[in-house]
Amino acid sequence: MNARELVIDVSGVVKRFGNKTVVNGIDLKVERGEIYGFLGPNGSGKTTFIRMLCGLLTPDAGSGTCLGFDVLRQQAEIRRQVGYMTQRFSYYEDLTIAENLDFIARVYAVPDRREAVARSLERLGLQNRRRQLAGELSGGWKQRLALAACLIHSPRLLLLDEPTAGVDPKARRDFWEEIHDLAAEGLTVLITTHYMDEAERCHRLGYLAYGELLTRGTVSEVVASAGLTTWSVSGPDLHHLARRLRGREGVEQVVAFGNTLHVSGRNATLLEAAIAAERDARHEWARVRSGLEDVFISLMSGSRDNFT
Amino acid sequence: MSSNRFASYRLWALVVKEFIQMWRDRVTFGMMVGIPLMQLMLFGFAINSDPRHLPTAIRNADMGPFARTLVAALQNSDYFQVTTVTATEEETQRLLQLGKVQFVINIPVDFSRRLLRGLSPNVLVETDATDPSAVGPAVSTLRALAGKVLDHDLKGPLAALRDSVAPVNFQVHAHYNPENNTQYNIVPGLMGVVLTMTMVVITSLVITRERERGTMENLLATPVRPVEVMLGKIVPYIVVGYIQLTLILLAARYIFDVPLAGSLSLLYGVAFLFIAANLAMGITFSTLARNQLQAVQMAFFFFLPSILLSGFMFPFRGMPEWAQWLGTCLPLTHFLRMVRGILLKGNGLVEIAPELWPLLLFFVVALAIGIKRYRQTLD
Ligand SMILES: Nc1ncnc2c1ncn2[C@@H]1O[C@H](COP(=O)(O)OP(=O)(O)OP(=O)(O)O)[C@@H](O)[C@H]1O
Ligand SMILES: [Mg+2]
């Protein structure tokens, strides 16, 4: 790991709003070319942390570097080489797509501006919508515009805050392909998402709750560290079965996935005992590998309330 | 930090963007052009009032007791307050031109002699009529005074003089606006009012709007510097300010026949400082306001005293002292004096200089607060 260049290397980052600590001592190292997924429930501090990385918020404590520049003092240099896609669409709705891109390209002094704008329009399949006002675009198209805009100055680090919220599956797949291509070229990406399939596409993950990074690692590391045993069950009347299971010792969570239930717990013996009590001929039980979703739901219900 | 210096290409990017947005927002754009015209129509009629204690210069060439009685009577009428007693005409003309006095009362050398002969001596009253509503009531008082002012002094053998038509004959000579045409006063004043209104309101909105729509987050994440953001907002609106100024000048000249006595380039020059002062005020509001509604409220909080206390709505000298003091702090007050001075009196740079530095001071203070308060982060 030491051999590789660290694009984000911060430690002990703290942010308070009033007397509420929103980010509580986060350490994070992200290597060049890595796609790092940031997960966590609403209000856990993901957006706040990203804003501190690009100098939009001043950390109350902590230190480190981003792209080799000091996070606290060299914010101007960082901004020049970072592409930040905000959670909420933040381009100008009263400008057309082309005008928005042109504005950003001017601000970053992109060489061959016109060509760069044309190229980015083409790459995102937006050429024939270039004269459309950004405000008139559908949610998914707005996201694509935002991605195009934050890529136009060829940043070295992409900070994407829920870039695919409200985007259709095909567009999401295209988007992830694009992200992987860019990462292969050496672009580093820090991305927040609430979608599990997207989390699985990241090289590494960090799970944030209540301002703290609770779990981190590759997908399999995260799943393994949760120590969760999961059984799946299918058959009739799952609704009542779920209700009965929830009351039993050892059953920590029961989650419906279409026509099956996932029943999980950290203590495998207790869990199996509980399941044995409910087994009958009508239902088919199978032990399955815990998925990321099982793990995250378990983590979320275990963490304190993020809104208080 | 060398890499973080002001960059004109970024300012240009912001200016272009602002112009496009301005052009797209047809309603606002239309208002910026329509407001001057609408205001002209609204304020085209007179607003009257009854100001007193108007500064008056007396040039008394006759030191006799009758002349003294006359001066005392003028003072007692409440309308005139003798601030200067002088001997030369040069001095009185200068005072009028600078607006230091509203009236000059010239008592001729043969005042007593003619009076005693029953020849109704002439007293020349010169007025600064750029603001007709300020002089009107005072002039009426003069006419009433003429008949009875000397009644007390004219006794014994002189009592007969009392009965002559009027022992004293006031000749009123209105300077600058001889027809006492209120539009002459209102229309140049509107220039300042319209500029204040649009400049402060619009700029206080444009930055708050970026924050409210969330685009500020994006802007702050780019290398754009605060001073570039501010200038990027100011430059397009200076252009708008000049368009409004020109519209009003055209209307003044061709609709209201206001004489344009002074130098237009001087007017355009001082307007720059005035527009900048108002923009700085708007920017400052936008750094204080949390949302657009607050920004508009702040702008109106500033606009109302401007329109009421600057001498636009009511004659400045008719206001109580505290109001005059407040009015003196407002840029519009000084701009109004300059515009009226330039357009109606043909004032030059020397005459308007005393009104320039308060504007400059206001601009510097407002901008300093704005820059200090501008949040470079989302904290
Ligand atoms: N400017 C602010 N002032 C006060 N509190 C804030 C501010 N910004 C965020 N917070 C609080 O900080 C906490 C973390 O917010 P943040 O936006 O970082 O969460 P998040 O992880 O991005 O959530 P989501 O998944 O919903 O986007 C929330 O409780 C929020 O209310
Ligand atoms: Mg967020």
Q: Between B25 and A202, name the one with better pLDDT.
A: A202
Please indicate if any CB of chain B lies within 8 Å of the CB of A195: no
Mean pLDDT on B368-372: 82
Residues B128-150: what's their mean pLDDT? 74
Whether residue A218 is predicted with pLDDT greater than 90 in this model: the reply is yes
Does ligand 1 come within 6 angstroms of the Cβ of A58? no
Task: Give the 3-state secondary structure of residue B25.
Answer: coil
State the average pLDDT over residues A168-177.
89
Question: What is the predicted pLDDT for the residue at B227?
Answer: 78
Number of A/B CB contacts below 8 angstroms equals: 79
Query: What distance in Å separates residue B16's CA from the closest CA in chain A?
Result: 8
Judge whether B8 is closer than 8 Å to chain A, CB to CB.
no
Task: Report the separation in Å between the CA atom of A47 and the middle of ligand 1, taken as the mean of its atom positions.
Answer: 7
pLDDT above 60 (res B184): yes
Q: Which atom of ligand 1 is nearest to the CA of A46?
A: 21
Winning range, highest mean pLDDT, from A46-55, B60-69, B139-148: A46-55
| Atom nearest to A57 CA in ligand 1 | 1
The 8 Å CB, 24+ separation contacts for B71-79 are B71/B105, B71/B107, B73/B145, B73/B149, B74/B105, B74/B145, B77/B141, B77/B145, B78/B52, B78/B53, B79/B52, B79/B53, B79/B54, B79/B137, B79/B138, B79/B141
Q: How confident is the model at residue A106 (pLDDT cuts 50, 70, 90)?
A: very high
Q: Report the pLDDT value the prediction gives residue B165, as an integer from 0 to 100.
A: 55
Task: Determine how β-strand A260-265 pairs with β-strand A229-234.
Answer: antiparallel
* Average pLDDT score over residue span A249-253: 87
Q: Say yes or no: B218 contacts chain A, CB-CB below 8 A.
A: yes
Q: Which residues of A touch B221 (CB under 8 A)?
A: 54-56, 79, 82, 84, 86
Contact in structure between B25 and B72 (CB atoms under 8 Å): no
B290 residue type, one letter? R
Confidence of residue A104 (pLDDT cuts 50, 70, 90): very high
- Is A78 touching ligand 1 by the criterion CB < 6 Å? no
Average pLDDT over residues A162-172: 88
Question: What tens digit of pLDDT does each residue of B261-288 get?
Answer: 788 899 999 999 999 899 989 988 988 8
- pLDDT for the residue numbered B120: 78
Residue type, A79: R
pLDDT at B167 over 80: no
- Residue B125 is predicted with a pLDDT of 84
pLDDT tens for A24-39 read 999 999 999 999 999 9
| Predicted local distance difference test score (pLDDT) of residue B154 | 67
C-alpha distance from B12 to closest chain A C-alpha (Å): 8
CB contact under 8 A, A90 and B7: no
Going from N- to C-terminal start, the domains of chain B cover 54-175, 183-378
A104 part of contact set with chain B, CB < 8 Å: yes
Contact A95 B17 (CB under 8 A): yes
**B4 HSE (CA, 13 A, CB side):** 12
Least confident of A259-273, B46-60, B238-252, B298-312: B46-60
Q: What's the confidence (pLDDT) of residue A27?
A: 95
What pLDDT does residue A6 have?
A: 92
pLDDT at A35: 96
Contact A57 B377 (CB under 8 A): yes
Q: What angle do CA B44, B46, B48 make, to 5 degrees?
A: 160
How far apart are alpha carbons A304 and B305 in whole angstroms? 53
Q: Are the Cβ atoms of A107 and B222 closer than 8 angstroms?
A: yes
- What digits encode the pLDDT tens for the residues A55-89? 889 999 999 999 999 999 998 899 999 999 999 99
In sequence order, the 6+-apart residues with CB closer than 8 A to the CB of A192 are A37, A38, A39, A40, A46, A47, A50, A87, A160, A161, A162
CB B18 within 8 A of CB B206: yes
Ligand 1 lined by A229 (C-beta under 6 Å): no
pLDDT > 90 fraction of chain B, expressed in percent and rounded: 14
The single-letter DSSP state of residue B344 is I
Give me the domains of chain A, ranges plus CATH numbers.
3-222 (3.40.50.300), 229-289 (3.30.70.330)
Chain-wide mean pLDDT for chain B?
Answer: 81
The band of B156, judged by pLDDT with boundaries at 50, 70 and 90, is low
Query: Considering all CA atoms of chain A, what is the largest pairwise distance in Å, rounded to the nearest integer?
Result: 71
- Nearest Cα to Cα of residue A161 among A119, A196, A130, A191: A191
pLDDT of B316 over the 50 cut: yes
Report chain A residues whose CB lies below 8 A from the CB of B218. 84, 86, 90-91
The predicted structure's pLDDT at residue A185: 92
Give the DSSP H/E element, type plus range, for residue B255: none
pLDDT digits (tens, 9 = 90+) for B26-67: 887 787 778 777 777 676 544 445 577 788 888 888 877 778
Question: Could you report how far apart the first and last alpha carbons of chain A are, in Å?
Answer: 38
Q: Does A37 touch chain B (CB under 8 A)?
A: no
Residue nearest to atom 24 of ligand 1 (CA): A42
pLDDT, mean of residues A124-135: 87
More confident residue, B153 or B1: B153
Is the CB of A87 within 6 Å of ligand 1? yes
Best B220, B227, B231 residue to mutate vs chain A (most A CBs within 10 Å): B220
CATH superfamily name and code, B54-175: abc type-2 transporter like domain (3.40.1710.10)
Query: Does residue A43's CB lie within 6 angstroms of at least one atom of ligand 1?
Result: yes
Q: Which of A23-37, B79-93, B222-236 has the highest mean pLDDT?
A: A23-37
pLDDT of residue B155: 65
Q: How would you classify residue B346: left for phi > 0, otherwise alpha for psi between -120 and 50, otherwise beta?
A: left
Q: What is the pLDDT of residue A190?
A: 97
**pLDDT bucket at A93, cuts 50 / 70 / 90:** very high
pLDDT category of residue A165 using cuts at 50, 70 and 90: confident
ipTM above threshold 0.90: no
pLDDT at A306: 46
Per the CB < 8 A criterion, the answer to whether A17 and A172 are in contact is no
pLDDT over 60 at A304, yes or no: no
Q: Mutate which of A14, A15, A56 to test chain B, going by most B C-beta atoms within 10 A?
A: A56
